[in-house]
Structure 1
Amino acid sequence: MAIRILTLVAWLPLIAPLTLSANDDRYQIGAGDSISISVFNEPELSVRAQVAQSGLIRFPLLGDIRALDKSPRKLAEELEAALLDGYLVNPAVTVTIETYRPIYIKGAVKDAGRHEFLFDLNVEQAIAISGGLTDRASKDSWLILREGKEIKARGDTMVMPGDVISIGESVF
């Protein structure tokens, strides 16, 4: 019995749906995210910025810093290393995502367009946020465009920041 439980635990990360929490190292900063950066005991180095399409943010003393495709922890570590190189003795940097890039819902929904990303949001809830399905909406022709890849979606498919959800129409 113990071996079966261990086997299940080993497979769980592979079969569990991908969800994010506020401090998840798997989350990669993307264009459109708003972040705050603080350096302990250095208020003049505190920054709030929206990540540009280029992936850059401007940081005091260091200039333009690439934030795109880095976890908040990785970006904090890189800033600490850069500040340690001649600027501060023992920098302690914290990077926090203040707002995540939006999701987009298009197709056969009542309020298509840009919507705020929320944690633990699935496709069915995103459809509800967009006013629900129209009368002509398909019940199973749902797709998510995520990082350039199309994913067939169901109601319980988890939504990630930046996703574009497409709801098709039924053919009568």
Structure 2
Amino acid sequence: MAIMVTGCQSNRLPEATTRISLTSDVNDYRYLIGPGDNLTIFVWRNPEISGNFLVRPDGKVTTALVEDLDVSGKTPTALAREIEEELSKYINSPRVTVSVTGFQGPLSEQVRVIGEATNPRAINYTEHMTLLDLMIAVGGLTEFADGDNAKLIRVIDGEKRSFDIEIDELIREGDISQNVDMLPGDIVIIPEAWY
């Protein structure tokens, strides 16, 4: 007689995996290239291979001599050195400069606001961004927001941590002590008031 044993299958989806931001200190921010960024790649004395390139959704660009170069998550300077290395196969001592326009950045570097903001969305992180800057970018709180029970979710040492933040005190009462620094990858959750 055979006995068949089956395990329970969970209907839960696996948790999303995201890259952890390289910035863990507000004073040590370096911009990272991401999908949607426009790159100007200038190769000194080689205008025929210089140009403007859009970073594809897969985080890559294709230039005249280098195909499918993975650029997402790199600083412009690091990318320039990598392109120099690749181009040295074809050009003697190439000098490359990379500049970014039309900033998007990788998703791991964006700050997200969800819940009772006027325009909840992901915002591209900028150096020294604060909670007040973020709230201005999303248009403030809705009339139904419970801003003083908001949460800030931040990854610290690979672990998600939750912090209480008081957005009503900051915006409506002008308590500037509530204006905390934001970091790339932060998530602000604004609940609805129960009244």
Q: Same fold (TM over 0.5)?
A: yes
CA shift for structure 1 position 159: 4.2
Partner of 2:182: 158
Partner of 2:103: 100
CA deviation profile, 1:102-127 (whole Å, cap 9, x unmatched): 65433211122354554322222111
Partner of 1:10: none
**1:76 and 2:99 aligned:** no
**Consecutive unaligned residues in structure 1, runs of 5 or more:** 1-14
Cα RMSD of the aligned pairs, angstroms, is 2.9
CA shift for structure 1 position 65: 0.7
Partner of 1:61: 65
Partner of 2:191: 168
CA distance in 2, matches of 1:158, 1:68: 22
Partner of 2:16: none
Secondary structure at the counterpart of residue 191 of structure 2: strand
Q: Do the aligned residues in 1 keep the contact of 2:26 with 2:127 (CA within 8 Å)? A: no
CA distance in 2, matches of 1:50, 1:139: 41
Residues 32 and 61 of structure 1: CA distance in aligned 2, closer, same or farther (over 3 Å): same
**1:128 and 2:136 aligned:** yes
Q: Which has the larger radius of gyration?
A: 2
Residues 131 and 152 of structure 1: CA distance in aligned 2, closer, same or farther (over 3 Å): same
Residues 149 and 98 of structure 1: CA distance in aligned 2, closer, same or farther (over 3 Å): farther
| TM-score, length of structure 2 as denominator length | 0.62
Identity %: 26
Q: Do the aligned residues in 2 keep the contact of 1:34 with 1:97 (CA within 8 Å)? A: yes
**Consecutive unaligned residues in structure 2, runs of 5 or more:** 1-23, 105-109, 166-178
Q: Do the aligned residues in 2 keep the contact of 1:19 with 1:120 (CA within 8 Å)? A: no
Partner of 2:119: 111
